[in-house]
Structure 1
Amino acid sequence: MREFFSPAPVERGMKKWIFALLLAGLRLPAAGLLLLQEPSDPSPLLPPGRVPDPPPRIAPMPRPVPPRMPLQPIETTRLAAEVVIRDQVATVAVEQEVHNPNGTVCEGTFLLPVPRGAHLDGFSLRINGKPVEAELLGAEKARRVYEEIVRRSLDPALLEYMGRDLIKVRIYPIDPGSTRQLSLRYTQLLAEEAGLVQWTLPLRAEAPGARPIPSLSVHVQFESTLPLGTLYSPSHAVTLARRDDRHAALSFEASGFQPDADLSVLFSRTRADVGIDLLTHRPEAGEDGYFLLLAAPRLATASESATPKDVVFVLDSSGSMSGPKLEQAKRALRFCVENLNERDRFDILRFSTDVEPLFQQLREATPSSREEAFRFLARVRPTGGTAIHEALTQALASRPANSDRSFVIVFLTDGRPTVGITDENQIAQVVTGRGGAERDSLTRVFCFGIGTDVNTHLLDRITESTRAASAYVLANEDIEVKVSAFFARIKDPALVGLELVPPAGIRFTRLYPHPLPDLYKGQQILVAGRYSGQGRDPIRITGRLEGQAREFSREVSFPDVSTANDFLPRLWATRRVGHLLDEIRLRGESQELRDEVVALARQYAIVTPYTAYLVTEDEAR
């Protein structure tokens, strides 16, 4: 007899049996539940005490939220500059009005370029309709006070040092749709080169899409002790008016001005052959005075042809130089080779992982050797690492023994040493070590750094030790223009080994620059320093030109008391501080150097990495 069972009772019986076994073998927590799943279900049993997750809920559709509009940059609505240029000293007062186009309170941060060689005289912010002057504080204290005042919603402004040619200004608050006015004053010493003096007002905005300035005005007054010659602007259409041969005025006004170029002005003055000018300031008798010497002696050579020199061009062709950088550098070197004098000798070293010379020794700049150089440059391709040590070693070894020619190395690189010896001190030792170029009065190593990954510390050490100079070009700048302009300046012979000899009874101390650099044809030397003693006698500049001793002199007066030129103390202090900051950067910070920087900065109100200008409302002072 066959028995048939319905499926449902069988399944229920099996479930009860399994359930009973589980109950017998498990101790359940008081509040626990045990869920039994079908044996065919591969999911594991939940542990004791676990409450099953509720079934998933379907979230409601989110409510649409309007996107937050990005903040617009703070705009410059008015820029006005009032300038007085007395001989070669420019006093500049800039007023800038900024506007907040946003619907919320903003803090404005501005990076303001200050021309090289300028020193800041003052900074103020207009609060409640009145200009409030800044005070100089320690950088950390100024920053702390500024941030405390911001939290109290008062009106501070902070001006900080960002580099030798850049300052940062922070202003708070700038209310929605409102404007704030700030003022900046600085004094700048202008250099003369090839008989021309250049003054530049930084206007170009580096930010892409910079908006036009609704109102721009620049007024410049010229006052000269010598007759004014050429006076023009190569950058903008300015208005000129000459009152007499020693006084002139220049103006430039525009609406909707697009800040795509700096305003540049060139002028010349008629001077004597020797061209030595002296400015002094000594407010109290018995105290050391301040002086500024400006000299541009005419370097006429004995022969009609230029004095021959030896030049080695060293070109970095590592992989990081690929693209426009290498092509611009090659064109710049082509310009330099084309502009060598007939009796000059030269060579080109290409370096990356290895070093490849064009010639095995210096060769005269004949038409055939120049053509060979052009073909060599055309073949250069970017590849490999950066063997700076080996490149410098071979370049210095190129100089013939016992040569009395000036020996110039033009070194172009965009990176840091990555191949061979990479230690900075060992590389610098090639130039500065015993028997190196530092002890050679005729060797100069000029360095050009390209891009933002350059070891500026190393390049500056090299150029400083050889009385040369270094220059740096950003990746988006034209390398060809800078290198070509530099080589055009040093094309003609230099007065080397310069010494400044004071008049009898006068003693000079703390001269800057020190040591004095070479003086190339058409250039001017500017020396700031302290002096003691008094009298009127010739001051002398000595050096060597074409291997022959040369001397230039002019009778000048160092007075016991002089209240004129009251800008000289701060100008000298700015150069002294710059020298100390270079020492800190190149050789490391010491307490003695830091203390002197801070003391000079406080005494002469100079913005440094250790000091800053702070503007506050009266109740916050």
Structure 2
Amino acid sequence: MRITTRFAAAAALFAALMLSQGNKAEGQAIVLPGPWPPLPPVERPETPLRVETKSVNIEINDRAARTTSVHSISNSSGRELEATFLFPVPASAAVTGWSLEIDGAMVPGKLLNRDEARRIYEGIVRSQKDPALLEFAERDMFKASVYPVPPRGQRIVSLSYDSVIEANGDSYRYVYPLPASSAQSPSVVSVKIKSSKPIKNIYSPSHPISVHRNGEHSAEVGFEVSSAAPRADFALYYSVSEDDIGMTLLTHRDASDGGFFMLMASPRVDFPEDDIAPSDIVFVIDRTGSMRGEKMDQAREALKFCLRGLRPSDRFNVILFNERAEPLFDGLQKAEYSRVDQALNVADSIMALGGTNIDSALESAFSMKYDPDRPAYVIFLTDGLPTVGATDVATILRNASSRAPKNIRLFVFGVGFDVNTRLLDKLAAENRGAAEYVRPEEDIEVKVSALYRMISAPALTDIRLDFGLMNATDMLPATLPDIFLGSHILVAGRFTGIPGPVRLTGMAAGAKKEFVLRPPEKIGNNPFIAQIWAARRIGLLLEEIRRGGGDYKRELVTEVAYLSKKYGIITEYTSYLVEEPNMRLSAAPAARYREQMLMETRTQEAADAVSGAWGVNQSINAGNLAKSAAPLPETQSYRDKNDNVVNVTNVRSVQGRAFYLDAGTWNDSRYTDDIRNIANIKPYSEAQFAIIREIPELREYFAIGENMNIVLGDMALRVSPDGDETITASQLKALLARRDML
């Protein structure tokens, strides 16, 4: 017996979409128990139909992509039901074919036109009252019937479609929309990429991905969706290049803030062995009494891991220090078997005792006769404050500056909380390296071995970037790191010109090399780049404030406050943005003065914490921001002065703009209480759909909630329950005139 229910509820499904760079891919499959259109909204039980996306598989061959998603439609009732399967067509994607299987059998479907699709969508949104569905309005739609869905059973639906990717230069972008509800997300998303040209940089700004390279022309990418996974759409970028070092340039231009760029560079998978630069590496290990026990055991294993990873062409030495520094060898030695074996035996017998003479250890490390044509690395590990010899921070830094060879890179590991973070941070920053901190509950071996894996095979060193006509500024990091096999560098910055050829130069095994990236065909629409740059900038400013101690400059504090508010990047210095929203929302000069004073008080207090849990945590927090490689997650976190993890959940980013949740209302970071020109509309109203039809880019903003204030120049668009059902022609005209201010 065939029974058609009258439930009007819709359940969100997903489909993978392919779009060219600069356009957002959007799509969603919806199961509707018929008939359609629904009855007027009334109180009714939830639909017994439930849909889940089991998996999504994407196969990309050059510019052709096939996307297949597998869904289950389950029926919790005791009768057969019919479901209508609706799938929004990817906007701007060249869809070349569709197929739908239900339990292995092919079934017909119909492509609805824009007007019919709009009528269905608006009915769904009004009945569901789910703002997340607004993001998928104004789309054509694929429709098919699923019958029967057996009582207390399920049907398996497999949807496939083919599409063509539009490239921007040698870069490609793929987006798969994920739902707000993790229960409706696919458990696994996998992508197989094949290219006639060698594949270089593979990057996702939205999700932590695993990448498996099958030679130069093939790669597999995947991630598993969990309850903690980001709710953002899955975005995947990759580029192709015949060069030994391949580059990817992503750009974005904001109407008010100008241009932002992000450049990635990575070596080819089968990078020529002869071009891998032999290195000079010195391991400096603290063996003072405080290292006794588990810390010393982990340090031994870390050292042994690094020693076993040396290549025969490398030169090395090991320095153990307490009150004085003791090199294992008289100078740098070739990494021959006998020498490495001797060092391994010494590592097994390290005894921990005595005080900490950091100055002597650095002097010993820097006095080695490094080859100026080789990259030189010092890995320095300590768990204590300087207690013997020179103990004044300024003196140690001054001595290090005068002794360090020009080609040295100093990587510092601070173990535990009893370290001077200002000293270690400055040593690393002034010697082209980085400072890492190992918290008491963390494993020294894991952190040291991870770094060594990265630096053990330099592909290009002493690199320089020339952006030519772009007029690039504010590049971060300011000092460019080396490029190593199996990894990539990421540089973010701003630009005022036009994208032109980018030149990357550096040294590969003693020979100068140059690589040229042809410019993208157009400036992209990648607003996430601005937030990545802002996070890195805030991290840099916080590091400068901390290194300066009480002598920091006031303008640094002001810039941290400005960038934090604008981009929704919350730190221990700027937590007032979410703790005291009235101060953020007020346009009064008194509020700005109070904000400045609060920032300066917090900054001074924080800058004085050089060691201990808070000193270490601040260095970790700032360092994490300075290394940002993706937009911040929906739940931001940092460790405070009490060593507690602070989670911030009431900040969202939409198209690079921050929104703060204040007493149930999402407020644009640009919104203040002195804005008087306000268009107030009701959610799910004709007014909201009329605006979407005229300004479709507002869909993503509307999708975050039913109560919000969006700023367009001197005007605010408010969505609230007491808003108007319709919008006047003059209000719509005013919004259209300010469209470029989004």
Shorter-chain TM-score above 0.5: yes
Q: Percent identity?
A: 36
Residue among 473, 484, 492 paired with 1:528? 492
1:297·1:552 contact (CA, 8 Å) conserved in 2? no
Query: Match of 1:617, as an amino acid?
Result: A
Q: Identify the match of residue 340 of structure 1 among 310, 314, 317.
A: 310
Mapped to 2, the partners of 1:618 and 1:305 lie a distance apart of 58
- Is the CA contact 2:277–2:375 (under 8 Å) kept in the aligned structure 1? no
Q: 2:559, 2:480 → 1: CA distance?
A: 23
Contact 1:226–1:269 (8 Å) recurs in 2: no
2:388 and 2:20 mapped to 1: Cα distance?
50
2:436 corresponding residue in structure 1: 471
What residue is the counterpart of 1:415 in the other structure? 384
Taking the aligned partners of 1:309 and 1:249, their CA distance within structure 2 comes to 34
Who is 1:575 aligned against? 536
1:294 aligns with 2:291: no
Q: Find out whether 1:277 has 2:261 as its counterpart.
A: no
Please state how far the C-alpha of 1:381 moved relative to its aligned partner: 0.8
Matched, 1:458 2:423: yes
Contact between 1:328 and 1:480, CA under 8 Å: does it hold in 2? Answer: yes
Alpha-carbon distance in 2 for matches of 1:283, 1:268: 21
Name the CA distance, whole Å, in 2 between partners of 1:246 and 1:344: 31
**Shift in CA distance, 475/394, structure 1 to aligned 2, threshold 3 Å:** same
Q: What is aligned with 2:407?
A: 442
Looking at structure 1, the residues matched to 221 and 457 of structure 2 have their Cα atoms a distance apart, in angstroms, of: 33
Contact 1:320 1:414 in 2 (8 A): yes
Go from structure 1 to structure 2 and tell me whether the alpha carbon gap of 1:272 and 1:420 turns closer, same or farther (over 3 Å shift): same
Separation (CA, whole Å) in 2 of partners of 1:573 and 1:479: 31
Instruction: Give the stretch that moved more between structures: 245-254 or 409-418.
Output: 245-254
What is the letter of the counterpart of residue 487 of structure 2? Answer: Q
Q: How far apart are 1:88 and its partner, in Å?
A: 12
What are the Cα deviations for residues 525-557 of structure 1, in whole angstroms up to 9, with x where unaligned? 11111111225x321111112222111111113
Cα separation, partners in 2 of 1:306 and 1:512, compared to 1, 3 Å = closer
User: Match for 2:518: what amino acid?
Assistant: E
1:343 offset after TM fit, Å?
2.3
Off by >4 Å, runs of 4+ in structure 1: 82-89, 214-231, 245-254, 265-270, 299-303
In 1, the alpha carbon distance for the partners of 2:20 and 2:385 equals 43
Match of 1:390 in 2: 360
Residue by residue, what CA displacement relative to the aligned partner does 1:499-519 show, whole Å, maximum 9, x if unpaired?
11113x321111111111111
Which residue in the other structure is 1:509 paired with? 473
Give me the whole-angstrom Cα distance separating, in 2, the residues matched to 1:349 and 1:85: 54
Give the Å deviation of 1:602. 2.5
2:192, 2:300 → 1: CA distance? 43
Cα gap change, 1:571 to 1:406, in 2 (>3 Å) = closer
Instruction: Find the counterpart in structure 2 of residue 554 from structure 1.
Output: 517
The residue identity in structure 2 corresponding to 1:468 is G
Q: 1:587: which partner in 2?
A: 548
The Cα shift of 1:430 comes to: 2.6
Q: Of 320, 340, 343, which aligns to 1:370?
A: 340
For residues 564 and 266 of structure 2, the distance between their equivalents in structure 1, rounded to whole angstroms, comes to 31
CA apart distance, 1:481: 2.1
Relative distance call for 1:333 and 1:83 in structure 2 (3 A) is farther
Structure 1 position 313, deviation (Å): 0.9
* Partner-residue secondary structure (3-state), 1:325: helix
- The aligned residue for residue 504 of structure 2 is 541
Query: Larger % of helix: which?
Result: 2
Instruction: Tell me, in whole angstroms, the C-alpha distance in 2 between the residues paired with 1:413 and 1:266.
Output: 40
Amino acid across the alignment from 1:478: D
Query: Is the Cα–Cα contact under 8 Å of residues 85 and 223 in structure 1 kept in the other structure?
Result: no
In structure 1, stretches of 5+ residues that fail to align are 1-81, 92-128, 132-213, 238-244, 260-264
1:486 aligns with 2:532: no
Instruction: Give how far 1:522 is off.
Output: 2.5
- The 5 Å alignment of 1:148-159 reads none
**What is the CA–CA distance in structure 1 between the aligned matches of 2:560 and 2:510, rounded to whole Å?**
40
Gap change, CA 1:300 and 1:307, over 3 Å in 2: farther
Question: What is the total number of aligned residue pairs between the two structures?
Answer: 394
Taking structure 1 as the reference length, the TM-score comes to 0.55
Deviates further, 370-379 or 589-598: 370-379
Q: CA-to-partner distance for each residue in 1:407-432, whole Å, 9 max, x for gaps?
A: 21111111111111111111122332
Contact 1:387 1:420 in 2 (8 A): yes
- Per the TM alignment, residue 83 of structure 1 is displaced from its structure 2 partner at its CA by 13
> What aligned pairs does 1:230-245 form with structure 2 within 5 A after superposition?
none
Tell me, in whole angstroms, the C-alpha distance in 2 between the residues paired with 1:269 and 1:291: 16
Q: In angstroms, what is the RMSD of aligned CA positions? A: 4.4
Deviations 1:351-387 (A, max 9, x none): 1122222112222222221222122222221111111
Q: Matches of 1:313 and 1:247 in 2, distance apart?
A: 36
Q: 1:412 to 1:297 in 2, by over 3 A?
A: same
Q: Does 1:596 align with 2:562?
A: no
Unaligned stretches of 5+ in structure 2? 1-14, 25-128, 132-181, 211-217, 582-660, 666-672, 674-742
Distance 1:397-1:288 versus aligned 2 partners, 3 A rule: same
Alignment of 1:425 onto 2:394: yes
SS in 2 for 1:607: coil
State the structure with more CA Rg.
1
Secondary structure in structure 2 of the residue aligned to 1:534:
coil
The 3-state SS of whatever aligns with 2:437 is strand
Bigger mean CA offset, 411-420 vs 454-463: 454-463
Find the aligned partners of 1:88 and 1:489 in 2 and give their Cα distance: 30
Give the secondary-structure state (helix, strand or coil) at the position aligned to 1:530. strand
- Counterpart CA distance in 2 for 1:380 and 1:516 is 36
Distance verdict in 2 for CA 1:222–1:576, change over 3 Å: farther
Larger relative contact order (C-alpha < 8 A, sep ≥ 6)? 1
Cα-to-partner distance string for 1:101-136 (whole Å, 9 max, x where unaligned): xxxxxxxxxxxxxxxxxxxxxxxxxxxx999xxxxx
Residues 84 and 253 (structure 1 numbering): CA distance in 2 closer, same or farther, change over 3 Å?
farther
Q: Are the equivalent residues in 1 in contact too, given 2:239–2:248 (CA < 8 A)? A: no
Q: Cα gap change, 1:558/1:507 in structure 2, threshold over 3 Å: closer, same or farther?
A: farther
Task: Provide the residue aligned with 2:177 in structure 1.
Answer: none
2:417 and 2:365 map into 1 onto residues whose CA distance is: 25
CA contact (8 A) 2:375 2:461 kept: no
Cα distance, 1:460–1:226 mapped onto 2, change above 3 Å: farther
1:587 is paired with a residue whose SS is: helix
Change (3 A) 1:570 1:223: farther
Identify the residue that residue 518 of structure 1 maps to in structure 2.
482
- Match of residue 34 from structure 1: none
Whether contact under 8 Å (1:351, 1:391) holds in the other structure is yes
How far apart are the structure 2 equivalents of 1:267 and 1:279? Answer: 12
Tell me what 1:350 maps to.
Answer: 320
Q: Deviations over 1:199-254 (max 9, x none)?
A: xxxxxxxxxxxxxxx999776768999869999xxx999xxxxxxx9999855468
